[in-house]
Amino acid sequence: MSMFGAIAPSISNWVAAVTKSVNGLVGYEGVEVINPEGSNEDAAEEANKGRWNQEDRDGYWKMMHKYIGSDVTSMVTLPVIIFEPMTMLQKMAELMEYSHLLDMADQTEDPYMRMVYASSWAISVYYAFQRTWKPFNPILGETYEMANYNGLNFISEQVSHHPPMSAGHAENEHFTYDCTSKLKTKFLGNSIDVYPVGRTRVTLKRDGVVLDLVPPLTKVHNLIFGRTWVDSPGEMIMTNLTTGDKVVLYFQPCGWFGSGRYEVDGYVYNASEEPKILMTGKWNESMSYQQCDGEGEPLPGTELKEVWKLADVPKDDKYQYTHFAHKINSFDTAPKKLLPSDSRLRPDRYALEMGDMSKSGNEKSSLEERQRAEKRTREEKGHSFTPKWFDITEEVTPTPWGDLEVYQFNGKYLEHREAADKSEDNTDPKSIPFNPWQFQDMST
């Protein structure tokens, strides 16, 4: 039986789990609770578990249930109890932890191994994406920068507030990475679907090939009732736009008692859509590959070889952070002359990191009000916001979840970083006041 012959039973289990899970808990119409480690019989017990106490849970449900079926990306103000001390811009940077895989993709002469390395890089971030805490939404004009990480520079910027959009760029001697991301959600009561409306392009410098990535959606279960958990069922497709080769990887949905959870299976295809290499693994552990025949079966005399493995992670970490996530958040890794718009400097984020939830909530409200005030000022003066490090293009690209306006890196950050690295200014980054409005170009 081929690899995909085993997928159908997992899908059936998942559908059954969803269909038979708790619907309409007493007094809570529209609630659906799914225990990824059990079956429908223990869903009612699972509903009473989670991070909320009953009073807060009931209050939050009363506030949120009216939004069922809506995109809640920027509609509601959320309590900091569900947040992690990191922003979405920093979370974009987590994709760079295993960037050495893109270096290997650039260096190999095998066109199909190039796709193995590059797609494994795309999968490597999903361990970080399974965290059940919500990152802070960036303030318009906010940035995050990571300088000289294994020869890599990364910059991201919040380029739009309505709709929320971020742009990111990374570069080293082997590749450039460019991403425009527009988050779209659908609130389903006790769960939410997160649609990655975005365009991710990687250019490998040696041969100039361009890779395009379309990830699967993400489902966050048990937001209010039960223990929150994350799944990303569906297809990830990476296409070599230069040659026509592609990778199609299927993220299996979670079935009863966790069957199929984390599992990823698929193939590297040539431009004629013939399978050349099979790939299999778990997105929270490792990925492996093996040469295959035209039917997708392993070639005789070949063996499964590991291409990526999750690095060691901290035990019992409060926010399920990796060691790399801690580095991203740390002022110890902040570059010289840190931009005052950097996410590390957000007072609400830092207060939460220090464990002061009350102060974090107050600072978050203050920042959001300041953002609204800045918007009113712009509108009164007839000005528009212009990002500092990215320019909007005339290109609108289709995605499975809607059209996307594309922003491109304008190169100004490289000039800034070169000058900053030469500067003798060694100001303690912690002392820099957070100010995402400093660089805003209020052009008419």
pLDDT in tens, 22-46: 555 556 776 888 888 887 777 778 8
Mean pLDDT confidence for 105-116? 98
The neighbouring-strand residues paired with 287 are 281, 308
pLDDT digits (tens, 9 = 90+) for 209-268: 999 999 999 999 999 999 999 999 999 999 999 999 999 999 999 988 888 999 999 999
Per the structure, how many domains does the chain have? 1
Q: Please report whether residue 302 resides in a domain.
A: no
Mean pLDDT confidence for 82-109? 96
Q: Please report whether residue 12 resides in a domain.
A: no
Mean pLDDT confidence for 93-102? 97
Nearest CA among 125, 134, 143 for reference residue 84: 134
pLDDT digits (tens, 9 = 90+) for 160-197: 998 899 999 999 999 999 999 998 999 998 999 999 99
The mean of the pLDDT values for the chain is 90
- Report the percent of the chain where pLDDT is more than 90: 73
Question: Which of 43-47, 48-52, 77-81, 248-252 has maximum average pLDDT?
Answer: 248-252
pLDDT digits (tens, 9 = 90+) for 414-443: 999 999 989 988 899 999 999 998 766 544
Q: Please report whether residue 199 resides in a domain.
A: yes
Range(s) of the domain holding residue 396? 44-242+325-425
Q: Please report whether residue 411 resides in a domain.
A: yes
Mean pLDDT confidence for 272-289? 97
Q: Please report whether residue 285 resides in a domain.
A: no
Mean pLDDT confidence for 277-291? 98
The confidence score (pLDDT) of residue 1 equals 37
**Cα dihedral 343, 84, 184, 78 in deg (nearest 10):** -100
Q: Please report whether residue 200 resides in a domain.
A: yes
Alpha-carbon dihedral sign for residues 326, 330, 333, 338: positive
Nearest CA among 233, 253, 227, 243 for reference residue 276: 243
State residue 51 phi and psi, 5-degree precision. -85, -10
The Cα–Cα gap between 189 and 298 comes to 44
pLDDT digits (tens, 9 = 90+) for 256-278: 888 899 999 999 999 999 999 99
The confidence score (pLDDT) of residue 3 equals 42
**Band of the pLDDT at 76, cuts 50, 70, 90?**
confident
**Band of the pLDDT at 8, cuts 50, 70, 90?**
very low
Mean pLDDT confidence for 50-60? 86
Q: Please report whether residue 68 resides in a domain.
A: yes
pLDDT at 5 exceeding the cut of 70: no
The confidence score (pLDDT) of residue 11 equals 40
Q: Please report whether residue 437 resides in a domain.
A: no
pLDDT digits (tens, 9 = 90+) for 363-401: 999 999 999 999 999 999 998 899 999 999 999 999 999
State residue 316 phi and psi, 5-degree precision. 55, 40
Alpha-carbon dihedral sign for residues 256, 262, 268, 273: positive
